[in-house]
Each structure stands twice: as C-alpha cells, then as structure tokens.
Amino acid sequence: MHLPRASVFLLAAAACAEAVRTMIPKTSFNSQSDFDADWNYNYPWGTDHNGGARMNKSQVKFSDGMLTLTAKKVTGQPDATHGGQKIKINYLSGAIGAKEHFNVSRGGGYDFSGEFKATTTKGTWPAFWLTAVDGWPPEIDMAEWKGSGKISFNTFNTSSVLSWKDVTYSNPDQFHSIKCEIRDVNQRDVSVKFYMDGSLVTTQVGGNFFGKPMYLIINLQMEGSSGSPGPSSDTLYQVRNLEVLSYNP
C-alpha cells in the first residue's frame, strides 16, 4: 500500500507523540487530590536524613500549581541518626517523594523539569534529586543548593567516583528553570544533561545506572553539608511547573 507523503508524516508524528508519556503532570500541585495521585509526604524512608531538619507534613503546602516547603526553627526534637552519627534536629521542614519509581529502559529515558526558587543562605539545603530504590548508588542531584551562593549538578557512581558541576546561582529570590535529560547510552550507562534557564550547563554519565529504579525527591534540608548555624527565620523553597516525561518504550 502506498501512502501519500503527508500521511506518512502524520503517522510518524503520531508515533513520536505516543513514545512520550507524562509521568507527573504540571497540575500535580494544584490540589490535594492532584498531589495524592503522584506524591507522598516525607522521604521514601521516613522523616530524617543527613541534616538538621526533620521532615513534617505540616511544612508542605501547595496550591495553583505551586509547591512551598517551609523550614522553621524548633527546639526539643530528639536527635536523628545518620551513618552511625547523631545529628541535632534544629528545624522542622518539608519533603515529598514521587509515588512512581524511575528506571531507564532500552533506548529510553526521562525529562525532569520545573521552575525553582531556592535559597543559597548558609545553613539551607534545598534539593531536587534522584536516588536508588535498592542500595546506593545511583544518585543524580538534578539541582542542589548548599548555602554557598552556587547551584550544584552531581552524578554519583560511587561515594568516591562522581561528576559534579558548581555554578554561580544569581538572583535566588527569582524562579529559575531546571531541566535534566536522562537517556540510555548502551544498556549499561546513562547520559545525564543538566540545563538551567534553557542553557546546557554540563553533561555527565551514570555508570551502570541502566534499569535501576530511582526515587524522585524534592526536599528542604537544613545545616549539615550547607553549614551551620542556619537561619533563625523561616526558609522557603518553592517549585512550580514540575513535570516528568518518559521516553521509555
């Protein structure tokens, strides 16, 4: 059967459109029901991690497509434990984790994107990242701010084998667009492209990341690697137009 050229182009376009699936839509922060469809509160493993903030549902707010995480100073909290070390909890803050797990399939991958307003004040540690469901690594820090006036883009192959890129983060009081493109390279490794405000910042490689499920996390940690003491006033971390697209077959 011979198809007109226009029909061939339409069929090709339809095939491409079918190859892209929206895993998390930009509407996931519109309402409680939208949020509940795609997200859970806290880290996937609980309320504590590697800094001086304990995650609490009360510190997570969303409406009209905007997520707001707020860290507030507190006292009287029991210590957290991480890596065998006690960590003093000085804040209650917010974290959310996607209900979906993300693993790159043969010839596929994902786009993670959104607009972020993140502080770079000493003692504040906002992040937008992927980490292993089973063991560790992989880990991809799609955007991380550690109180230094910079934004970091990191890929951890092991604790000592990693790629990173730190760049100056101007105008932290404004929203900046962040995008991370992750693609299969050879059914073993994945390429990771990091964009900020529409420009490619760096390209890294995740060794042996192919097929390994990862959590997606948005959180506002405090102190820890971002220094201490942190601020005494409330700290806000805001996200809008968050979207995840899948190119997996």
Average pLDDT, the chain: 93
pLDDT at 13 over 60: no
* Residues forming the active site: 139, 144
- E strands, the chain, where? 21-24, 39-41, 53-55, 60-63, 66-73, 80-82, 85-87, 91-93, 95-98, 109-117, 124-132, 139-145, 150-156, 162-168, 176-184, 190-196, 199-206, 214-222, 235-246
- What is the CB neighbour count within 10 angstroms for residue 22? 11
Please give the pLDDT value at position 141.
Answer: 98
Query: Token digits for 187?
Result: 């059914």
Structure tokens that stand for 157 in this block: 């192959």
Question: What average pLDDT does the segment 174-179 reach?
Answer: 98
Per-residue pLDDT of 47-101, as tens digits, reads: 999 999 999 999 999 999 999 999 999 999 999 999 899 999 999 999 999 999 9
235-244 residue pLDDT tens: 999 999 999 9
